[in-house]
Structure 1
Amino acid sequence: MALELVAFDIETTGFEVRDEVTVAGFAVPMGVRVFVQTGGRAARDVEAAVRDRVESHVQVSTHESERVLLEAVETFAAERLIESDVLLVAFNGELWRSGFDLPFLRTRLSRRDVEWPFREMPYADLLPVVTNRFNTVGEDGESRSDLAGVYETLCEGQYGNLDPFADSGEAVTAYEEGRFTDLVVHNVADVLRTRELGTLAERYCSKSDFKLKSLTPTRHD
């Protein structure tokens, strides 16, 4: 039986140890589940505003702090992902000696004393799959290695136009300014692009190209 592809992506306030997770999104076959923290600020009708701009089914929940967001992600993973036939994928989420999303998440979970949510499931990073097994050279002659660039080169799909940001760094400013709808729509665009690239790779690459690894920790309380 083929594993169900679940794409994952986070947004943060920066890259340092003290920075926080602001958004965590998951794309599954039936839609997208997004968790966003507001830092204690009011954020009314974010889900309705996002649904007005996104054709895919999206469920959004707002949380007053990073800790509450991380706890909600842990609950979601326990109810939806753990003990299911899923393959968690990300784009530059975690590679050998590099990657962003999973290393950053581990640090924040440990700082907040929240359990690791991705137990009993395999993970594969799509960055090496798509850049090593597809031609990602654009019309300008430059090879693409970022999510937006690779997606535009290989898929030319609708999700590139969905993203309200020209650069992912704008997600930090959007959070600081309380523009939670833009922030969530950006995350939705990223997880949908990641999922579409994963589906493309499944169609044209071998199983061995995916380099699966287990995310189950050695010790779990």
Structure 2
Amino acid sequence: MHEKSDRDHVAWDIETTGFGWSEEITVSGFWFPGGHATLLVNAGPHAADAEAFERRLAEACGAPVSVTVADDEAALLKGMRRVVFERFERDYDRLVAYNAESWKGGFDLPFVRTRCIRQGVDWPFDGLLFADLWDPVKKRLNTTTTAYGASDDANSLTGAYDLLCDRNESLGDVLGDAEGHAWYRDRPYDPFEDSGSAAAHYREGDLLPVLEHNLADVHRTWELGELVRRFVSSKDVTEKKL
């Protein structure tokens, strides 16, 4: 994943109403090479204005953002299929995520499979090349923290990002894209410290901060993917077709 001729990364993450099999996907977000994002939101019974969301999100992250409002979870899953069909270059792009499906399990991909089955929707990622970043970040980059003689491993998405990327302006040459944009700068637009808060706001119909949270997470995921590409041997990164 570190060669210049290697595939580009498309980062992906979801928000849900909870962790159980009967919960639903609320937002599915993609961050594409070159610095632009596509988010799909399951509006359900809530009011949603895609254009207003796009303006606010673009202002927050400094990059173009496209928002698609789905009437329900089934429509969101079908929208994910359209994004994959229309936006992915299967011969050049690789889907990356953080703890979406690793050797210890992961959350996002198993959750989406179950929701596709429950909603009667075909698998949206059929044949895509995929790599999970959790294992190479944990094993090949030092994210160990110490305090008063005790040690811990900041191996969550936000923990690893804060240690390796956040506020580190020296990463400009590492994370700058082909057009010279540096996406490493500090981004304060994530309103939550955890996904539980996002789920609570979704239930109340407060959708914008849920979208902001997902956008921040796919942004973090993409940047960690670029670090892995440049500093970790491709032999240490497991990839597979979904």
Class of the TM-score when normalised by the shorter of the 2 chains: over 0.9
- Matched to 2:46, the amino acid is R
Aligned counterpart for 1:153 among listed residues 148, 158, 163: 163
Which residues of structure 1 form unaligned runs of 5+? Answer: 216-221
Return the alpha-carbon distance in structure 2 between the equivalents of residues 190 and 51 of structure 1.
15
- Rate the CA distance shift 1:151–1:38 in 2: closer, same or farther, 3 A: same
Which residues of structure 2 form unaligned runs of 5+? Answer: 168-184
Aligned counterpart for 1:188 among listed residues 195, 215, 222: 215
Return the alpha-carbon distance in structure 1 between the equivalents of residues 187 and 143 of structure 2.
16
Aligned counterpart for 2:84 among listed residues 60, 77, 88: 77
How many equivalent pairs are there? 215
Return the alpha-carbon distance in structure 1 between the equivalents of residues 189 and 232 of structure 2.
27
Aligned ranges 1:1-221 → 2 under 5 Å: 1-30=5-34, 31-44=36-49, 45-81=52-88, 83-138=90-145, 140=147, 141-157=151-167, 158=185, 161-215=188-242
Instruction: Write the deviation string for residues 115-143 of structure 1: whole angstroms up to 9, x where unpaired.
Output: 11112221111001111001102364432
| Matching residue of 2:175 | none
- Rate the CA distance shift 1:177–1:116 in 2: closer, same or farther, 3 A: same
Kept in 2, the 8 Å contact 1:32–1:59? The answer is: yes
- So what's the TM-score if we normalise by structure 1? 0.92
Q: Percent sequence identity over matched residues?
A: 40
CA shift at 1:166, angstroms? 1.6
Please tell me the root mean square deviation across aligned C-alpha atoms, in Å: 1.5
Return the alpha-carbon distance in structure 2 between the equivalents of residues 168 and 154 of structure 1.
21
Secondary structure of 2:144's partner?
A: coil
CA shift at 1:83, angstroms? 3.0
Return the alpha-carbon distance in structure 1 between the equivalents of residues 117 and 89 of structure 2.
20
